[in-house]
Amino acid sequence: MTLWICSTCAVEYPDTPQPPDVCHICADERQYVPATGQRWTTVRDLAAAGHRTHVAEVEAGLYGVTVEPEVGIGQRALLAQTPAGNLLWDPTGFLDQAAVDQIRELGGLAAIAASHPHMFGVQVEWSRAFGGVPVYVNEADKDWIGRTDEVVRFWSGTFEPLPGLTFVQAGGHFRGSAVAHWTGADDRGVILAGDTIAPVADQGWVTFMRSYPNSIPLSPAAVEQVVGRLEPYAYDRLYGNFGRVVSADAKAAVRRSADRYIGWIRGDFDADT
């Protein structure tokens, strides 16, 4: 069986004699098809090329899952532990037996979800490796699924897949763009944000975009929507999907970052340009 993986975004597509003509996720204005054209790969080809999955602790009860060398967009997946089971957030576009074994030692998986379609990775393949656990996809983004399967479950608005974890449909980047609110081992609250809200190089700040590679901004109203939908939740830390983190007072950081972003889009600081 050949499960095709887009080489650019590392999202999986179904078993077919030939790969699709184009990855519809990459053909969208938020992503891109390389100038060299659409290319496809497989889990087997990636393994043969030397790709390996690594699992490492990020903080108590939270682990990062990465692939080296990077595949696709190169996200770091996050595994959040709860007494009722573990969530894999923003699954990578490759997995191997070593990662499966390490995650089983951490309690396995009870649920898989992505913040938005760019982060679907090989989500069904991850599910199959752990006995067919649910893969949660926001209802608004169901048309972006490359590989459909019975393990896929739809949700919208807010949803609690496990006690201590809540998905929040924030919108912005995609209509179904989401974050996961996790109570954290210290009960202070953690946001797994993907790039619905993206930590930036300057510690204590974040940003918001429709497209990061193509630099398409969001409107002030869209940014206010994203921030407003997180307002009911307390959180101290916020993790993006590429290793950056707001390590303290993250809720205040999101608010002041939104104010700065909106001010620039609205023209409040044009005297400085």
Give the tens place of pLDDT for each residue, 94-127.
999 999 999 999 999 999 999 999 999 999 999 9
Q: How confident is the model at residue 1 (pLDDT cuts 50, 70, 90)?
A: low
CA distance 177 to 186: 26
Give the tens place of pLDDT for each residue, 204-261.
999 999 999 999 999 999 999 999 999 999 999 999 999 999 999 999 999 999 999 9
How far is CA 188 from each of CA 17, 51, 65, 179, 181, rounded to the nearest angstrom? 50, 36, 23, 16, 11
Give the tens place of pLDDT for each residue, 176-185.
999 999 999 9
The share of the chain scoring above pLDDT 70, in percent, equals: 100
Three-state SS at 210: coil
Q: H helices within 155-243, ranges in order? A: 220-230
Instruction: Share the mean pLDDT of the chain.
Output: 97
Give the tens place of pLDDT for each residue, 118-140.
999 999 999 999 999 999 999 99
Q: Show the domains of the chain with their CATH numbers.
A: 3-272 (3.60.15.10)
Q: Give the predicted TM-score (pTM) of the model.
A: 0.97
Q: Tell me: pLDDT of 173 over 70.
A: yes
> Strand 135-138 vs strand 40-41: parallel, antiparallel, or unpaired?
unpaired
Beta bridge partners of 67: 53
DSSP annotation of 133 reads: -
**In 10 A of CB 273, how many CB atoms?**
6
Q: How many DSSP H helices and E strands does the chain contain? A: 5, 18
Give the tens place of pLDDT for each residue, 61-98.
999 999 999 999 999 999 999 999 999 999 999 999 99
What pLDDT is attached to residue 2? 78
